[in-house]
Structure 1
Amino acid sequence: MPLSLLSPLAVSAWLVVVLCAVSGTYCLLRARRADGASRGAAAGEAVMGLAMAVMAVPSGTGPWGARVLAVVCCGAVAHALWLLRGDPRHAHHAHHLVGSLAMAYMAAMALSAGAGHGHGRAGLPAVTGALLVYYAAYVLLGGARLVTVGGVVPRTAAPAGAGTGGGAVGSAVAGAGELTRACRLAMGTGMLVMLLGM
């Protein structure tokens, strides 16, 4: 049953839709500019962000939309496993795998409930609880890291003795890195909100 457009749940769901759609679009643009392994990671994040935006729509996506989302999420799991296979020590690839599995889990819950969207449907308490703990820690640590790194990186990005041009380039690179971290944090927050709604 669709939520009222002005209910608090609907408003929070639409905020998650906007947050994830903007983050996913930024990651898609980043994937177009990136090369090699960073392109694959950015593309995976783009798929996750856009799929989360679709999944969070309060009115749902209908039975076929839920099936398509489940397939996309399973594809994201396979992509995350492929990235992890190439560099198993890369912490972000492991995080991407957890996110893909969480999305596939929510899509499976939506399908089993016969709904068009994953939030608001009861899942397995142990799995949902573990994912909630993971994403709460990720959001808290990621937010703290973003604040502390944001004040340090721009000053140390340029090598010693570099001119003002080098400093500007270093600041731009640092700013892009902070924006990427902010997008990841936004998607983590969106995931946390969606899991809280289960």
Structure 2
Amino acid sequence: MHGPAVSGWLLVALCGPIGGYCLARMRGSSGAARSAAGGEALMALGMAAMAAPSVGLDLPGWIWPLYTAVFGAAALGALWSARHGGRHRLHHLVGSLAMVHMAAAMTTGAGHGGHPGGGLPLVTAALLAYYTVHVLRAGAGLVPAPASGPGPGPAPEEDSGPARACRPAMGLAMLTMLLAL
């Protein structure tokens, strides 16, 4: 995550506003939509914060174990929530575990450029594969379907255009961070 400063600024500039948008979506939602927006806000703001060292901000060493703990707790919450809700909650679990993986790599120093392929290479490769498929699927979901008669009706609030557009953007940010690990 200590790649070129330009990519770091782009990650902060992309993920920070997405996190703010998700917080705003959370305020105007309830139930499962509120929970999903909160999880997405945590991930986006966490990615923006984790990209901060690549833009020249010097974070204290204790921040990486804190990130590991915060996203570990988020993973446990996503695992608990996944009992009641479908695939999107499992995606939050994978995302939280990816953040734990990256923060743990930074804690051990593997993510500071000291070792090629920081973290556990097999885990990193699996996460890269997962997020590549996720970005392709989420991006394909942005392509409008051809008009062929009456459709299923209006999309639920959590699947509105801006919310759907945030998912591939966040997936690309996660891919960028994993590649820089």
Q: TM-score range by the shorter chain?
A: 0.7 to 0.9
Q: Which amino acid letter does the alignment assign opposite residue 175 of structure 2?
A: L
Q: Evaluate the alpha carbon distance shift between residue 141 and residue 99 of structure 1 in structure 2; reply closer, same or farther with a 3 A threshold.
A: same
**Corresponding residue for residue 81 of structure 1:** 79
Matches of 1:115 and 1:98 in 2, distance apart?
19
Q: CA deviation at 1:61?
A: 2.3
Q: How many residues are matched?
A: 174
Q: Which amino acid letter does the alignment assign opposite residue 184 of structure 1?
A: R
Identity %: 44
Q: CA deviation at 1:69?
A: 1.4
Q: What is the 5 A alignment of 1:163-182?
A: 177-182=160-165
Q: Does 1:23 align with 2:39?
A: no
**Corresponding residue for residue 167 of structure 1:** none
Unmatched 5+ stretches in structure 1: 159-169
**Corresponding residue for residue 162 of structure 1:** none
Q: Does 1:94 align with 2:90?
A: yes
Matches of 1:31 and 1:14 in 2, distance apart?
25
Q: Secondary structure at the match of 2:44?
A: helix
Matches of 2:119 and 2:134 in 1, distance apart?
21
Please tell me the root mean square deviation across aligned C-alpha atoms, in Å: 2.8
Q: Does 1:12 align with 2:10?
A: no
Deviation track 1:26-56 (CA, whole Å, cap 9, x = no partner) reads 1111111111122111111111110110001
**Corresponding residue for residue 109 of structure 1:** 105
Unmatched 5+ stretches in structure 2: none
Choose the corresponding residue for 1:124, options 116, 120, 125: 120
Matches of 1:30 and 1:174 in 2, distance apart?
9
**Corresponding residue for residue 137 of structure 1:** 133
Q: CA deviation at 1:72?
A: 1.5
Q: CA deviation at 1:188?
A: 0.7
Q: Secondary structure at the match of 2:76?
A: helix
TM-score normalised by L of structure 1: 0.77
**Corresponding residue for residue 187 of structure 1:** 170
User: Who wins on radius of gyration, i.e. which is larger?
Assistant: 1
Q: Which amino acid letter does the alignment assign opposite residue 190 of structure 1?
A: A
Q: Which amino acid letter does the alignment assign opposite residue 118 of structure 2?
A: A
When you count helix as a share of all residues, which structure comes out higher?
1
Q: Secondary structure at the match of 1:85?
A: coil
**Corresponding residue for residue 143 of structure 2:** 147
Matches of 1:28 and 1:83 in 2, distance apart?
19
